[in-house]
Structure 1
Amino acid sequence: MSLLRIFSKPRWQSKDASIRRDAVASDDDPALLPLLAGMAREDVDASVRLAALKRLADPGLCQSAARDDVDPAVRKTAAQLLLDLLSGTHAKAPSLNDRMRLLRAQDEQKLLEHVALNAPEAELRLAALQRVERMPFVLDRVTDDADSGVRMAALGRIDNERQLERISERSRKSDKTISRLAAERAQALRIERGDASAITTHARDLCEQFERLLREGGHIEAAQGLCAAWTRIAERAPAELTTRFQNARDLHERSRDPQQLARLRQQTADRVEFKSRLESLELQLRQPDPAAYADLQCGFAELEKLHARIADSDESSSAGLSTRFARVGAQISALTPATEPSVKPSAAPAQASQDQAAAREASKVAARQTRLAEQKQHAERLQLAIEAAAKAIDAGHSAAAREAHAEITHLRRKMQTIPASLREALADVESEYARIRQWQDWGDRNRRQQLLKELETLPASGLHPDALSTRVREMQAEWANLNRIEGGKAAPNTGMEARFHALCRDAFKAAKPYFEKRAELRKQGSGQVSEFIGQTKTTLRDENLSPRDALRIRHDAAQALHGLDRVDPRERKSLAADLKQILAALDERIKAANVQIGNDKDALIKKALALSELTDTRQAISHARELQKRWQQAGSGHRNRDQAQWKAFRSAIDSVFSRADSERAELNAKQQQALDAAAALCSELETLISADSEPERSAVHALEAQWRELGCSDSALRKRFQAAQESLRVRAANTRQRERRAGFESWMAHYTLLRQLERNEMDPAGFLITREAQPALNMAAEAMQARADAVLGGNAIATVDVARVLDCVLELESLAGIEPPEEDRQRRMDLQLEKLSARMRGQQAIAPEQSLCELLDRWLALGPVDDAHASLESRFLHALGKALDTLG
């Protein structure tokens, strides 16, 4: 292992974005955790920022990233993560109280709708739904939300009639409460805007409810509620329904007023007595007896007194009795009184024997005693029945009163005479019950007419066939209940009865096509379920059926069982039995498979625990990964046991990876140390470069030796160190070049002063002073001094040899790599041939730098060039500069 890996940085500080991303997603370095928030906001790589967001799962960071991050993919993922966190579907979601608090700070409709749709807590869904503004979404929540409270709250926000009607129809079978409330709210909205049909329907319902209350009995609170509801529509209700409701309410109030009740009871009693006596007189008139003329007249006179008390009544029955009373008076007046004929006593029958007479007398006595005992018993039961009927009538419980009166009628048929002590109470009960029955008969007739009217309009009402069928059955049940209440006296209503049944048949006929189509679909559904059962039974015979396939088939079988309402009802029982049998068989297989899966996973857990004993971490990690693959291949068993086993297995596997993480952290620390040491060597070498003085070679060699010992493999540090070495080499080369050029540059400075002196451009004194200021000359110094002394001494200057001067210029141009003019090329070629011949004779070549020094010495020795050949001097100086550049 290299020292670089020992001293390397942590993975989350790597310049490689993929390595940094993996570290952010999974490393548990304590130094990393506090930096995740900053990396989620500021890291240069989008995938690293996204990994930090997912690991932290912080709603605040997610919201900031969704709004401000520069990368669209990060914004999109952060927005989705925020939705999952606030709705509670994320594994790291905050608590409910925190999510409720965070939700209050959100205004984005998309987020509110997501929470209202996906949050597992009804409280959170309700809080989000209350702030959703898009009404189609609220409309869906009324029927689709799992919590009744949320559905009710959503319904409270709907104020559109058509939407409420659609909700009522959609939830008719799934949620009858919502369906009823939606229908009531739609009806209330129609009434509020003045819809005549809705007002009429509501008014009729209130009348029916009040009449039902009168028939069956009810509390005062119920009557008060109906009156309050009627008050809201009283001004807009139809006149006939207003009269009908007022009559029902008056009857109810009369039954509650003691004085009015007493007056009604007295009127009823007088009417009953009058009717009884009138019927007696009518019976006597059917078989007239002239001898009883006086009795008829006496009875008629007493009947007149009663007639005077009931004549002022507004009851229709009183008018009929008056008509009958007048007819009886006319018939009595038409009778002629006759003399009562004498009656002769007939001959007495023959007397029976004394023994037979005694036996008959004893039998009569015994029979009389038995009858007396029975009559006494019946009288006691009659008294109880009268008391119960009176109590029920006073309380307004018509159903109990009807049962008690039926008992009274049954007892009266068995009793020969009514005891005097019970006659008055019986008369009161009979009169009151007759009044109640009269009210009930009137109400029942009206209700029957209403049912017939509704049945006439039902086929064209547009109701769903199921709703139509349900309504018809409800009306049939109500009609049968009216027949039962009336005690089977259907003769007066025979025509209505026939019409009712005919209308029921017509209503069912309108829905017949639908039911036929549904029957066809149910037949198809039965065939599909039967086919599924056959295929499933064939599949169950396969002993190699996998647990996954068994679970899938069980899911399909459960769905088929729950969907049996789509099959023929006559086949549901047998199909349900087959499906339940399949489910039982599948459960047995799944149970056995779960046991096997649990045993296999127990074995894997033991092997995972044994990995802690392996000393080779790499081998342990390899085995752990292999066990993870085998765990996945083992499948899923029973949920509770599977979760417990997974925790144990995960704990054992995590311990192996934790050990690897520890070793990796230690290795990373060593690698970081090696990198720090390499960086320190680079810095030290760069410090030597930046120093003003030339670095010592020993120090540089020592740093290079340490670098080679580290064996750094980091490309950036390696390039950095190589760049520092290259800088050192360039600096040394530049120093050597400056040292080489220093002598030639000094010669050029002295030569320039010499030529100024030779051209009389500078006086001798100035020449000497300026030369002293120049650096010392270390090449061709004697020739330079000789030229200067000749001028300073006033000696005559000899004429230069132009040919030698040209040769010197050509040699210098050849050394500098400069092409000569056309006229001098031959001479240069000759000079080159001479040099070549000299080398061929064994003469050793002279170094360029030495050759240059000799040329300078020769140039000075040739003497000053006159103005006529100044171009040669210019060529010489130009070639000298190029030669110096070439030599470096």
Structure 2
Amino acid sequence: MSLARFFSKPRWQSKDESVRRDAVATDKHPELIDSLPRLVREDTDPGVRIAALKRLADPGLAQAMATDDRDEGVRKTARNLWIELLAGTHAAAPSLVDRIRLLRAQDDQRLIEQIATTAPEADLRLAALQRVDKAALILDRVTADPDAAVRLAALERVGEEAQLARIVERTRKTDKTISRLANERLETLRVERGDPATIEARARQLCEQMERVLREGDGSDEATRIAATWQRIADKATPQLVTRYENARELYDLSRDPDQIAKLRQRALDRQHIESELAAIEQGLGSASARTDCEALQQRFGTLAELHSAYANDNDEASAAVSVRFTRLGARLAALQSMPETIESEAMAIAQAEARLDQEAANAARSEHLAATRAEQASRQKEATEALHAAIVATSEAIQAGKSAEAHQCHAKVSRLRRQMKVVPAALRDSLADIESEYAKIAEWQRWSDNERRQQLCEELEVLPETGLHPDALATRVREIQAEWAHMDQIEARPARAADGIARRFRALCQKAIEPAKPYFEKRDELRKQGTGETAALIAEVRAAVAAEEIDSRALADLRKQAADALRSLDRVGPRERKNLAAELKAVLTAIDGRVDAQHALVETAKTDLIARAVALSEVSDLRTAMSQARDLQKVWQKSGNGRRSRDQAQWKQFRAALDAVFARADSERDARAAEEKQVLESAAALCAELEALAAAGSIPERSDVQRIENDWRALGIRDAALRQRFESARDSLARIGARHARQQRRAEFDIWLAHYSLCRNLERGEIESSVFESSRSALAPLTLAAVELDSRIEPVVAGDEVSDSDVDALRDCVLEIEQLAGIEPPSEDRQRRMDLQVEKLSARMRGVQAPAPGNALRDLIATWSSLGPISDEDSVLESRFKHALLASLETLD
């Protein structure tokens, strides 16, 4: 039985830190796995603690070691492991639910911030972000986090206007949703702060949105959203915008109220009836022949007065026009009624005669016209009738759907077709009359709402100069208002005279609104004149440079870039000069390109000559001369300049191929040298492999074999660092094998003693019989160390004689001496006794007694221990101490 096996321990309990580290990292012994938590906390070597910590990968232990361990390296490793486990980047990381729970228990802001930026799961980053207080990190997450939900949550944490403005700018092109939400929050903050410009812009935007919904005739959800947004700024908006919004909202509500729609339709019918009655009364006045006829008309007019009084209550443009017509007709009736009957009769006769003449003239003209166009109308009647019918149907559908803009377009088409047809077919007259009636209602409604919008546009023009807009923005807004005005006129399709008064006011306000921007435009005209001059100067400079005999290619390229930039930035010159300057710039660019082409031709010619000279080098017999000339040609090639890229690349391939043919002549020599070097390296690798095989055998090789390998190695003269290191490593392995073999030979007698001593202790404790002891002892190697003492101790036990226990003091002295020899400190209760023994030895040396060598001293102690007789169970601790000290002494024994 070997001494190493008797005192063997697991590798993870070795005194060698490197062995322990390797065992903790790789061994799979169950006891080691159970002991990992203790090793993390208690092992003396930081490397072992780190290895156990990494293998265990326990979040709680890693967190504790990150703050409690005495070694900085262990703390750093534990913190990194803790972060990886918590972030989920480690293979043994807990589940997401557990990591979120662990994160909620953390107070380290640095850790939380790192998790918020590096965790792979969006839920974990979101949980960490909710506990982050650093504004810069929150701002970074808004723009940099890959998950949309995390970005939105981070945006909710931003509450400063400056930060929101930066977010809007950063995400303007990368994240439209974040940019829009940040802009809305920014405007909300400014509104809450009471910023006048923001409030006015938001209020104007809401007014325009409500007016658009009103014109399009749908969008109840959008109207509800607009109303909810308006409530937040209603008390802060200007009175003009409040009035504008309330008018648009009122019109929208009216358009959605069936009762109001019915009322408006009835009002349109009343107006149509009043106008038809007034026309009939006017026609009756032209044909009345006596006072009785006038009285009948007067009675009919009185019946119409009741309907007119109800219709005229609403004070608008249409009712005012009807009232004026009604008043004039009443005055005419009263005048006719007061005239004498004879004069009245004469006037009636004259009027009837004039009417007959007019009717006859009209009939004659109509007959001629009808005769001239009858053939053409007949050929197009069917097609026009079908088109008119389709237009009438489309107009009816648009009116029923409440789409006013589409209804205007369809009605315009109906009117155009009616003008083309001249005579509407009888089959379409009823439907056309119905459409005209319905369209009159919707047109009345449209004019009503558009007049309100025109008034709002005029009010906006009045305050526009005071808004502080940039002149370009001011001019753009004026153009937008003018376009909207023209669009309303176009939709309504009404004559310009219907809005002469408000139109004159509108034109005047447009002139007044643009007045503050005139200085800016004048200054811009001056800058454009300056830009025109600079561009003209650049053109002159480029022309002079192109005309020069010699010019630097780089300077020519710079001039071309300047000319191209000037061509792209012609908006800095006046509009009238742009066309001419653009033509001149294109001309000078063409001239530059011609000059560049000429230079490229010269470069191409020079490189062609160099290629011919390079090809001629293949005929030079002297290799060194050819290679020297090839290098000179390379330098000349570099100085020859650059031509067109495609041509340069093609010529370079030809030039390179010619030079490669020269350099290829030297490749054979290099290949030979490389082959020789390769053979030497292979021989050296074979020697290393042979030496490594001797070391791997585990036994001491023949000295002649090692000497032969070393001689061959020295003869090769290897300079390769890797092979030299490999050879030295194999030689060191052989040296360690030799040292280990010598050590085993020195320890052989101790191993034999230990085997015999173990059998002796088994016999003394009664664990084996005498016969078994004799047979087992005969199988062991002969005892050479303390044989007499051990035999003396065994004989009485074998004979069955009673044997007394050994002297405890002698045992303790023997243990203290071998512990001193091994360098082991005794327990506190034995320190004084050991000091006494040391004093005795010191006295002996002072008397001239020489101390024995460590090996002899160890043999003497083993002989003494063997002679002390059986050891009781109470003294087994001393025996354990003796074995431990013996093993330690053998480790240091040379």
Q: Scaled by the length of structure 1, what TM-score is found?
A: 0.50
RCO higher in 1 or 2 (8 Å CA, sep ≥ 6)? 1
